[in-house]
């Protein structure tokens, strides 16, 4: 038993860490995203589009200097939890979920975040971003590890995401067509608050393709490439395609639409090729912490969600 | 990131913005504001224009700049207010109130997100001597929050809640905003969309048609979803 106790990750540490993650996500833009947008400032030839990009960079500095939220729309806060197979959580997974809900409510009051979560029909608002199925908590596991990785994402934007059932015969042309359609319909007037990290979910069942696309947008960093060379090449091709539409931030003429494109896949029905597109906006907010059994907490901005184990293909 | 001098024209205007200043504004100019502005969106529009409830203050006396916005704000224990970040909300939804809004408020500058239609500019803005400024990004909430020096009032907070209340802000060098419509009825978004539309079809050249077309896919690619 003493052995057990020493290894246990207490739920109050989880709550305190989650609270700190909410603050970091709302205020500090992840470095990979900032560098990606700064690189676009250098390549953007259009004055208006470049002005928008420069203003965003200035805005992130202002947010960090003043310790205020980077965008007044603080999005929908949610969590991704990756638990080592040997991790032990004090009070179990129910205690973890309760800790994350408490941290969300407290962060909403204290940072403050905008209380965005309402009941879809009654529009009832608890003023704390907590409610039925909110915040979402998704789980993944990792072999040979005793830590707990908690990622929070504050995903903004009512626009920039779409789903379509494509068919095997549509092939890469179909993927490009749907990608272009989504970029343009939500890029006009900057509804998607682009340039964005665009995530694409390909395959799986319909819901899987939506989940994969969202995770590809929110949980992979700018510059990260899929280990499958064919998928990696398509990521690069779609990034270039998006930046050659002729449109930039706010829908002005320009070449800055896609900071990076990430594709993740799941085995799908032999007759279909479901596809989703997600845009992680100019406020691409994510923050990550690893909690070790000894109580040590390390903060970072790369969720490292898609581990080789997570993308496993065969039977072990 | 190399620091490039931005080549856009920039102006700093005092509120109330004079008819001469408004007439001189050109689309694509960067604007910063000093003075008093207030927020008004569907909650305030409905009360004032549909329910005939008198505005909580004489709006024309107060300012001629109104803002489609809901701040990330909180009421402090001492009755004052803290405003963190400020981000505009999409303006196209408020088109139906424009005809009554301009004469009722004396407003000459509307600030919002994403602009309104060219038709709205021609029919409502130009005849009332008014222009539209758009926020930038649109995630520049921290920069705009910095421009608010004091929250003078939050009217109808109990009736409408934080998002819809009529907030009165004293602002200093608040911006950046971009001139989206001018007194000739030009629109910056429309001007750029025309250039972009000219190249749209070539993007699809050589891509085979989809196996199954989609309900709604017949919409022209030059159309907007709003
Ligand atoms: S989409 Fe992103 S940047 Fe735009 S208003 Fe929403 S949270 Fe802010």
Sketch the domain layout of chain A as residue ranges: 3-27+70-156+286-300, 157-280
**B58: domain CATH number?**
3.20.130.10
Q: Nearest-5° angle of CA A303, CA A309, CA A310?
A: 55
> How far is B98 from A24, CA to CA, in rounded Å?
40
Q: Which residues of B fall within a CB distance of 8 Å from A48? A: 8, 28, 178, 188, 192
* Domain carrying residue B56: 10-187
> How far is A302 from A299, CA to CA, in rounded Å?
9
- Segment A184-196, tens digit of pLDDT: 999 999 999 999 9
Predicted ipTM beyond 0.85: yes
Residues near A241 by Cβ (< 8 Å), separated by ≥ 6?
A176, A179, A180, B203
Q: Which residues of B fall within a CB distance of 8 Å from A171? A: 208
- 3-state class (DSSP) for residue A161: coil
- Residue B219 has a pLDDT of 58
The CB density around residue A65, as the number of other CB atoms within 10 Å, is 11
Distance (Å) from CA B60 to ligand 1 centroid: 31
* Residue A1, pLDDT above cutoff 50: no
Choosing among A71, A271, A279, which should be mutated to test the B contact, i.e. which has the most B CBs within 10 A?
A: A71
Distance from CA of A153 to the nearest CA of B (A): 16
DSSP conformational letter for A118: B
Distance from CA of A279 to the nearest CA of B (A): 14
Domain membership of residue B224 (yes or no) is no
Q: Are A245 and A251 in contact (CB under 8 A)?
A: no
Average pLDDT over residues A243-263: 97
Q: Which residues 33-62 of B have a C-beta within 8 angstroms of A? A: none
Cβ–Cβ gap B72/A113 under 8 Å: yes
Residues near A133 by Cβ (< 8 Å), separated by ≥ 6?
none
Cβ–Cβ gap B211/A188 under 8 Å: no
Please tell me which residue, B71 or A144, carries the higher pLDDT value.
A144
Q: Which residues of A fall within a CB distance of 8 Å from B180? A: none
- Segment A21-37, tens digit of pLDDT: 999 999 999 999 999 99
In angstroms, how far is CA B28 from the centroid of its own chain?
14
Q: Are A34 and A60 in contact (CB under 8 A)?
A: yes
**Residue A249 tokens, joined:** 């931030």
With a pLDDT cut of 90, the percent of chain A lying above it is 90
Q: Are A113 and A130 in contact (CB under 8 A)?
A: no
Average pLDDT over residues A191-205: 97
Q: Which residues of A fall within a CB distance of 8 Å from B225? A: 185-186, 188, 191
Average pLDDT over residues B139-156: 93
* Residue A109, pLDDT above cutoff 50: yes
* Residue A84, pLDDT above cutoff 70: yes
Domain membership of residue B138 (yes or no) is yes
Q: How many CB pairs under 8 A join A and B?
A: 178
Question: φ, ψ for residue A248 (rounded to 5)?
Answer: -130, -155
- Residue A213 has a pLDDT of 98
H-helix segments, B49-199: 59-62, 98-105, 118-120, 141-147, 157-164, 188-197
Distance from CA of A293 to the nearest CA of B (A): 36
Average pLDDT over residues B98-123: 96
* Residue A3, pLDDT above cutoff 70: no
Distance from CA of B67 to the nearest CA of A (A): 14
> How far is B29 from B42, CA to CA, in rounded Å?
28
Q: For residue A307, what pLDDT band results from cuts at 50, 70 and 90?
A: very high
- Segment A209-220, tens digit of pLDDT: 999 999 999 999
> How far is A150 from A87, CA to CA, in rounded Å?
13
Ligand 1 close to Cβ of residue B72 (< 6 A): no
- Residue B6 has a pLDDT of 65
Cis peptide before A259 (omega within 30 of 0): no
Please give the CATH architecture assigned to the domain spanning A3-27+70-156+286-300: 2-Layer Sandwich (3.30)
Domain membership of residue B206 (yes or no) is no
Residues near B54 by Cβ (< 8 Å), separated by ≥ 6?
B48
The CB density around residue B10, as the number of other CB atoms within 10 Å, is 12
Distance (Å) from CA A191 to ligand 1 centroid: 9
> Is some CB atom of chain A closer than 8 A to the CB atom of B1?
yes
Lowest mean pLDDT among A159-173, A283-297, B17-31, B78-92: B78-92
DSSP one-letter string for B131-160:
EEEEESTTT-HHHHHHHEEEEEEEETHHHH
Distance (Å) from CA A74 to ligand 1 centroid: 8
Question: φ, ψ for residue A85 (rounded to 5)?
Answer: -60, -30
Q: Which residues of A fall within a CB distance of 8 Å from B200? A: 184, 245-246
Domain membership of residue B24 (yes or no) is yes
Mean pLDDT of chain A: 95
Q: Nearest-5° angle of CA A147, CA A218, CA A299?
A: 35
Which of A275, A284, A276 is CA-nearest to residue A154?
A: A284
Average pLDDT over residues A41-56: 97
DSSP conformational letter for A83: E
With a pLDDT cut of 70, the percent of chain B lying above it is 92
Q: Are B130 and B109 in contact (CB under 8 A)?
A: yes
- Segment B163-179, tens digit of pLDDT: 789 999 999 999 999 99
- Segment A126-161, tens digit of pLDDT: 889 999 999 999 999 999 999 999 999 999 878 889
**Count of domains observed in chain B:** 1
Domain membership of residue B202 (yes or no) is no
Ligand 1 close to Cβ of residue A259 (< 6 A): no
* Residue A2, pLDDT above cutoff 50: no
> How far is B32 from B36, CA to CA, in rounded Å?
13
- Nearest chain B residue to A71 by CA: give it: B141
Domain membership of residue B84 (yes or no) is yes
- Segment B38-48, tens digit of pLDDT: 999 999 999 99
Ligand 1 close to Cβ of residue A157 (< 6 A): yes
Please tell me which residue, A20 or B213, carries the higher pLDDT value.
A20
Average pLDDT over residues A94-123: 92
Average pLDDT over residues B176-195: 97
CA dihedral A23, A28, A30, A35 (to 10 degrees): 180
Cβ–Cβ gap A251/B138 under 8 Å: no
Lowest mean pLDDT among A148-152, A225-229, B50-54, B76-80: B76-80
* Residue A99, pLDDT above cutoff 90: yes
Q: Nearest-5° angle of CA A5, CA A10, CA A11?
A: 150
* Residue A112, pLDDT above cutoff 90: no
> How far is A155 from B34, CA to CA, in rounded Å?
33
With a pLDDT cut of 70, the percent of chain A lying above it is 98
**Residue A280 tokens, joined:** 């992680």
């Amino acid at each position: 038993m003493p052995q057990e106790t020493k290894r246990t990750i207490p739920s109050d540490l989880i709550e305190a860490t989650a609270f700190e993650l909410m603050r970091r996500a709302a205020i500090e833009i992840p470095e990979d995203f900032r560098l990606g947008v700064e690189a676009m400032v250098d390549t953007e030839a259009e004055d208006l589009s470049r002005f928008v990009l420069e203003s965003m960079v200035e805005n992130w500095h202002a947010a960090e200097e003043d310790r205020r939220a980077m965008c007044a729309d603080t999005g929908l806060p949610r969590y991704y939890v990756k638990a080592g197979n040997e991790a032990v959580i004090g009070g179990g997974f129910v205690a973890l979920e309760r800790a994350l809900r408490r941290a969300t409510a407290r962060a909403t009051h204290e940072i403050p975040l905008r209380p965005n979560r309402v009941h879809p029909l009654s529009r009832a608002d608890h003023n704390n971003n907590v409610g039925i199925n909110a915040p979402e908590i998704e789980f993944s596991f990792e072999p040979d590890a005793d830590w707990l990785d908690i990622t929070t994402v504050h995903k903004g934007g009512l626009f920039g995401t779409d789903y379509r059932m494509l068919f095997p015969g549509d092939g890469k042309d179909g993927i490009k067509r749907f990608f272009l359609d989504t970029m343009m319909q939500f890029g006009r007037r900057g509804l998607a608050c682009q340039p964005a990290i665009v995530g694409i979910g390909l395959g799986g069942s319909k819901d899987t393709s939506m989940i994969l696309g969202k995770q590809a947008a929110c949980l992979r960093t700018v510059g990260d490439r899929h280990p499958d060379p064919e998928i990696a090449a398509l990521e690069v091709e779609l990034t270039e395609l998006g930046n050659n539409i002729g449109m930039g931030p706010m829908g002005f003429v320009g070449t800055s639409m896609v900071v990076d494109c990430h594709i993740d896949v799941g085995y799908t029905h032999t007759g279909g090729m479901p596809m989703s597109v997600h845009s992680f906006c100019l406020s691409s907010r994510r923050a990550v912490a690893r909690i070790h059994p000894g109580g040590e907490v390390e903060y970072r901005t790369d969720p490292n969600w898609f581990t080789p184990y997570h993308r496993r293909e065969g039977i072990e | 990131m190399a620091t490039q001098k931005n080549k856009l024209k920039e102006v700093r205007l005092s509120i109330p913005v004079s008819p001469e200043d408004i007439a001189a504004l050109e689309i694509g100019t960067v604007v910063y504001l000093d003075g008093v502005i207030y927020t008004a969106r569907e909650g305030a529009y409905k009360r004032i224009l549909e329910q005939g409830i008198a505005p909580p203050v004489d709006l024309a006396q107060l300012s001629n700049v109104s803002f489609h916005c809901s701040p990330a704000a909180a009421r402090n224990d001492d009755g004052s207010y803290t405003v963190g970040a400020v981000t505009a909300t999409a303006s196209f939804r408020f088109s139906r109130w424009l005809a009554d809004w301009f004469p009722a408020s004396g407003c000459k500058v509307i600030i919002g997100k994403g602009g309104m239609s060219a038709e709205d500019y021609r029919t409502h803005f130009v005849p009332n001597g008014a222009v539209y400024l758009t926020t930038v990004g649109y995630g520049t909430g921290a920069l705009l929050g910095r421009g608010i020096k004091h929250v003078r009032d939050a009217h109808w907070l109990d009736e409408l809640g934080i998002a819809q209340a009529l907030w009165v802000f004293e602002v200093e060098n608040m911006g950046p905003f971009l001139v989206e419509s001018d007194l000739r009825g030009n629109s910056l978004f429309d001007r750029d969309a025309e250039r972009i539309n000219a190249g749209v079809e070539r993007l699809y050249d050589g891509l085979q048609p989809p196996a199954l077309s989609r309900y709604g896919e017949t919409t022209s690619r030059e159309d907007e979803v709003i």
